[in-house]
Structures are given as structure tokens and as C-alpha cells.
Chain A
């Protein structure tokens, strides 16, 4: 309510500034006098901006400061018996007070009557602070907007370059929009680092990166069994690697051959039909691939291997047969193969671009010397395009590592350290999803582990992308 009221008031202030600015210009130039440098609309806009922007800035600042101040107030009112408990309990209490003040959902903790009355009192304080910041912030914002707008009106002269002022504001707004991309990167790195550092306070990074045991299902309450989970992420890295390798074994040859055909052999008409169809494959949401993998490919491959196993069992290859008969739906092969299908259009469209970027003179020279088309491709174009194609494959690997839905739906949850594609493995992304969905407390190492995994994932994919971009850039310059 106050948000829309505040927005409305600030807009009204701006509109008033616009009208008053124009009126002021008309009065200043009066009947005759020098012709104003800028048009009346720019004078109006200048005043409107000078009143709206400071007002909005003050209101935003009040809104941002309000939350932390409320938390401080709630923390200050901590009853002694809760202050004596673990930091986790303290923060639950604080969030319960805030929830009570704003009518949100509180935790299911049972409170003594004394604690309850303390909480009610604290909630009232918090609510007063909240109201104070809301209305006080709005009032301050309007005053600031009014004063700034007034200064802008008073300074109107015929020779004032109002258009340049307005354009400076626009320039600033545009530049701010471009920094959102930088802010997003900063936000990603900052939040991942911050939460990971909290995680690494309870689990050492060495153990995390080299440990062979992954079982994060630790108890939330201290008195439950199995309190200390194991956070060795090597099985997850191995699982991710296995699925990525399978995916690339599927995607690299198919994608590359498709790209070669499209770039070197296909007629114009074939290109016009095949390229969009491949793009459809790229546009299908990953959750759909996950569904396909879990309910179609998984059961089909399992039936296939179980059938072969049943034939082999009892024969000379009995051990292999027994193993094949126990294959489950969630084998690494299923997730890897479907991910490979997903990556085909990615590899093919990138490689297609790269092949098209090789100079025609290479092709002509090779053909003129009597080489066939395939010899031209294999002996001339591919070596020339190799860096670009390597970069395309690196980007595909980075995609495969970060892909989440297919593995969440079709790979398993068990952290096995294995290289057998018929076994169940789990990946970094699957574990992030598992750790962060469902009931959780935010401050336990279990949920923080997800940020540790996220940081690793981000670092690896970032490195792959940077290398790939570097290669592509160098490659482009070579032929430009």
C-alpha cells in the first residue's frame, strides 16, 4: 500500500515539477527578452528529474536501512535464556520476532510464556520501527524532492542549457543499467564466496576437495544420531565427469558431422530446413529432456541391459550377466546420453559458424589441387578450424557440467566413486538441488555445502568459458 502511495506521490511531485518548470520559464522570459536556449519541455523535464530522483533515492535508502535496523532491534531484545543458546537458535528467535511483527510464518519452536510475552513486546517495537521508517522515509523523500525541485525551478534562466542537463541524466541512467551486468557478477561471486566461507569454517576446504566420502544427511537437531556428515566431494566430481564424458561422446561426433554436412555439403534448401529443426532440439526445456530420460530412455535401456544380462547369465560370462541384470533406471549412461542429445545442436551450430568463418581460399586451393571434399575438410579445414572447434567443445563441456534438470530427474542420489556407465552416480548439480530443496535450516553445514559446491561449479565453468572465449577471439583475429 505504502509502496504504491509513495510511487504515486513521487510521480505527482515530478508532474508538478514539470508543469512548474515550464511555467517558470514562461515567466522568466516574460514578454520578449532573449530567446531561451532550451525548449520548454526540457526545462520541465529537468525540474521533474531533479524532484523525482532525490525523492526516490531517499525512499529507497529508507527501505534498505529499515530491515537491518529491525533485525538489530529484535536482536537487542533477546531474552537471557535464548541469548545463552546456540547462534542458530538466536537467529531463529530473531526471525520469529520479525515474522510475528509482519504476520509471516514463524518456526515451530515451543516458547515459554515469558519468552512469548518478550517476543510480543519485541514484535511491537519492530513494528513501530517499521512504521517509523515507512512514513518517516516517505516524508523525508518528499521533502528532499521538494527542496531539490525548488532549487531547480529557481535556477531557471533563458540561457540555461536544460536539454544538456536532461541528457546528462539520461546518460547516467543508461550507464547505471549497464552496470547491472557487473553487479550480477559481483552478486554471484560475493554470495557464493560468503556462504562458502561459512561452510569452510566447519569443513576444511582440503577435506571438501579431496575427501572420498559424501553423506551430507546430517541431523538438524544436535542430539540425533549421525550428527557429523561427511563432505568429501570427490565422488560428485567423478560422477559429473563421467556423465560429461558420456554426453560429449554422444554430442561431439554427431554435432561435428552434422556441422560439417551443413557447412560443406548441404544445399541451400537443406540448410533452410535442417538448421531450424536442430534449433528446436536446442529450444526444448531441459525439464522435458529430464522427463524423457527418466520415463523413456531409462526404462528402455534398463530393459535392454537386463535382457542381455538374462541371456549371458549361467553361461561363460555369468558374472557380467548377473551385473547387467541388476542395472537400474538411474544409470549414468541414461543421463549422459540424453544430455548428449541436448548438446548436439549446441556443438553443431557453434562448429557450423566456425567452419563458415574459415576463408574460402583454403577450400578453393585444396579443391584445385585435386582433393576431394572430404579430404579438404579433414586435411585443410579441420586443422585450420581446430582451435575454434576445441573452444566449441569446451563450451559444450561447460554446459554439460552445469546442466541440472536432466541429471536431477534421471541420475541417482548415491555418491558412488565409479567409472562404470551402468552404475548410478550423482553430480554436483544434483546435490545442490537435493541439499537446498525440502525442509532445511539455512545455517546448517548441510545447506551451506550447496554453496561450496556452487562456488566450485561456478569457478570451473567460468574457467572453461574464459579459455574458450580467449581461443575464439585469437582464432577470429587470425582470419580477419
Chain B
């Protein structure tokens, strides 16, 4: 009887607590969804913001200007000494109705041109002195401030004293654009030029070549050593204290902060062995040491995935241990090894801190000539440009990030493709 009396109340109790418990359950679940939304939201914000900041750098405004090379103003014995910038500015000024004697105005005109106009004129005259006396047409990027104005980054509403361009410079730019002297085109200079102190002339070619050379060194060092080390540890090494010690070492190296590798590179490769600072060779060696644990760990797991029956079959047919491993196990593990290696290299491509330690922070104009000359790389170029004061460099920094991410996505896609195409389930 007591049961019958208590049953309704305990049932109500349970139902009430059940409601509370289900609410807690929904809340808990909601927290999980929220956490994932926050993480993915940050990813979207990060990528969206960088594309928003960087996409405009892939288009640039350029200007074509025809300059008569007045023989009276160019010394034939020293053509490099002529003031080509001024000659070009006078021609642009003529289009705008500025008198050639108005020096203050011409100086302002020069500010919206790129120094590249004068450089190109000087180069053409040096290569072919017969041009003196003729009129030649130059296509050159617009100065970075003028380019930023046309992209809407510099606002006319800002007080004149607080912007880099004066009111009349803005008027001139508008008029030149209306007359078709200034046109916008794909910014090929971003991929065909090296770094420069002038934002409109700064390109990524040097950084891309530097990164490529460095990754070559990394791949040439880390892949064979990593592969062979993993083969030894997995297939040959006598299991014992020594291999345990090596294993602990590898696991710890994978977690050492990257900047410590930079200190190692500085102390050992540069100061002790005397290898050249800021060179792709040293950078590649440092990154190879960093990538080594990853390569070894990936290789070992794909070696372990090859079933023992393969080894046993080879041994049963009279192959030696070495022949069984290198003739059968390693080739079968190769897709997994390559996948791991590409992912390790993609990671190395984005690594910055150790490269700063070995001197890749200085301005390197042009393109690295070889493995031992000073070079910049994509991540260090991003770091250097981010520190630049000009607004136009911010846009280029974001563009450089887009290029870097594109390369990394390409490499990861290659790794995924390899895995899908060649991976075998036993």
C-alpha cells in the first residue's frame, strides 16, 4: 500500500527532474554547437578578412605616358644622368594644363607617378641611345598613393592635411582617369618583380623563388633521412633501450618550439659552420630538422600499415630482410610516406620564426641567384611588409598571404589526392 501512495509523487518528482535533466542535456549540446560555430566563425572571419584586404592588390592601376626624349636635356656621354622623372612629369602636366615652369605643381605630379617611369626611360635610352630625339611611350604602374585613392582607400572627405595626397592631386588623378591615361589591369608585377621599397613596384617573385629553393633543400634533406630513419626504427632496429631513447627524442623534437630550431640554426649552421646568413640553404636545413620528426612519424605509421604477410611472403621466397623491406614493404608504403611528407613540407612552407633567427628579415631586392645567396621567403616577406608604414603594403601583405595559402592548399590537395588515389586498404 505504501508503494501505491508514494508512486504518483515519486513519478512527479522524476518527471520534474527529467525536465530539468533534458534541459541540461539540450544546453550541453548547444554549448558544443556554439563552440564549433565560434571556431568555424573565426575561420570564416580570418579568411574573409584577408581576402577582403588582399583581393584589390591583384589589380593595379597603370599609366601610359608618351615622353619625347629631348636631345638637349640628355647628355649622350652620360645618359643615366638625365632627369627622366621630370620629363615624364612635364608630359603628364601638359595633359593637365600645367605649365612646365610651375615647379611646385610638377613636383606634386611626380608624386602620383611611380619612379618606375624614369627607370624604364633610363633603361631604354641606355640600351638604345638612338632613341634620343624620338618620342617613346612608357607603361608603368601608378604611384602607390594614387593607386590607393582610385581603389577607394584614400577618402576625399578626410582633411587634406591628414592624407598623403593633396586636393589638386586628387583632381588630377580623376581627370587622368577620365581621359583614359590611367587604366586598371591585372597586377602582373606582383608575380614578376622582386621586393622593392616602393609599394607599387614590390612583387613576390623573389619570395616565391626563395621559398621554392628552401623547400627543395628541406625535401632533399628531410625526406631521405626521415624515410631511412623510419625504416630502420620500424624494420631493423633491435628493440631496446637505444630505440626507446631515439623514439622519446623524436617525440620531443616534434614539440620543441620552432624558434628554438632557429637558435640552433644560428648557433650551429651560421656561427660554427660559417654557412651564409639568410640563404635558402640554411633555411632549408633548419626547416628539414623541424620537419624530420613529422616525416619519421608519418613514415612509421604507413610502414606499420603494410601487412606482415607481404614481408613473410618475400622472406619465404628467399629474399633477404633488406630485399623484402626495400623491394616490397617500402614501395607499398610509399603513398602514405609521400602524403605525410607533403603535409610536413606544406607546414614548413608557412614557418616563419626560425627564418627570422637566421637573418631572413632584411630587405632583399631582386631574386635569389642560388642556394647560398641571401633570399626572402613568402612568410618572411609577409612579416616584412606587415611592418611597412605605407598603406599600400597592407594590401600587398594580404595578397602575399593569399598566395601563401594558395600554395599550401595546393600542396595539401596534392596530399589528399595521393591518399585517395593510391591508398590501399588491406
Contact = CB atoms under 8 A, between A and B. Distances in A.
B238 to A, nearest CB: 10
B237 A178 contact: yes
Contacts of B35: 253-258, 261
Contacts of A404: 257-259, 352-353
Interface in A424-480: 429, 432-433, 436-438, 442, 450-451, 454, 457-458, 461-462, 465-466, 469
Given A286-B352, A404-B259, A437-B361, A294 B386 contact: yes
A274 B36 contact: yes
Given A291-B50, A372-B25, A461 B257 contact: yes
Given A281-B39, A457-B257, A175 B268 contact: no
B375 interface: no
Interface in B227-255: 228-229, 231-233, 236-237, 245-246, 248-253, 255
Contacts of A277: 40, 43
A373 interface: yes
A225 interface: no
Contacts of B246: 178-179, 181-182
Contact of A285 (B25, B53, B322, B404): B404
Contact of B260 (A188, A465, A469): A188
Interface string A182-224: 1011011001101100000000000000000000000000000
B359 to A, nearest CB: 8
B256 A395 contact: no
Contacts of A188: 256, 260-261, 263-264
A424 to B, nearest CB: 17
A179 B408 CA distance: 30
Contacts of A398: 255, 257
Contact of B379 (A170, A280, A285, A454): A285
Interface stretch (B159-167, B197-205, B308-316, B394-402): B394-402
A47 B36 CA distance: 62
B24 interface: yes
Tell me which of A170, A256, A262 has the highest count of chain B C-beta atoms within 10 A of its own C-beta.
A170
Contacts of B256: 188, 402, 458, 461-462
B152 interface: no
Interface string A261-296: 110010000000010011011011111111110111
Contacts of A291: 50, 382, 386, 397-398, 401
A175 B231 CA distance: 9
B357 interface: yes
A345 B404 CA distance: 21
Nearest to A168: B322
Contacts of B253: 181, 184-185
Contact of B232 (A178, A286, A374, A402): A178
A174 B398 contact: no
Contacts of B418: none
B108 interface: no
A374 B24 contact: yes
B401 A180 contact: no
Interface string A390-420: 0000010011011111001100000000000
Tell me which of A187, A257, A287, A429 has the highest count of chain B C-beta atoms within 10 A of its own C-beta.
A287
B252 to A, nearest CB: 6
Contacts of B258: 402, 404
Interface stretch (B85-93, B134-142, B343-351): B343-351
Contact of A254 (B24, B38, B274, B356): B38
A348 B39 contact: yes
A284 B347 CA distance: 9
Interface in A47-97: 67
A442 B271 contact: yes
Nearest to B293: A181
B129 interface: no
Contacts of B259: 402, 404, 429, 432-433, 454, 457
Contacts of A281: 39, 42-43
Nearest to A102: B274
Contact of A436 (B250, B266, B401): B266
Interface string A114-128: 000000000000000
A278 B41 CA distance: 11
Interface stretch (B26-34, B61-69, B182-190, B332-340): B26-34
A403 B255 CA distance: 11
B275 to A, nearest CB: 11
B263 A288 contact: no
A298 to B, nearest CB: 12
A374 B398 contact: no
Contacts of A437: 356-357, 359, 361
A398 B322 CA distance: 40
Contact of B29 (A179, A180, A192, A265): A265
Nearest to B380: A287
19 contacts: A181-B292, A181-B296, A184-B249, A184-B289, A188-B264, A192-B260, A258-B36, A261-B32, A280-B43, A281-B43, A283-B346, A283-B350, A288-B404, A290-B383, A295-B386, A296-B49, A348-B39, A437-B357, A458-B256
Given A174-B231, A181-B249, A192-B263, 14 more contacts: A167-B321, A177-B229, A180-B225, A184-B264, A188-B264, A258-B36, A261-B33, A261-B35, A285-B351, A288-B46, A290-B386, A395-B255, A402-B260, A409-B386
Closest 3 CB pairs of A and B: A402-B257, A285-B350, A261-B32
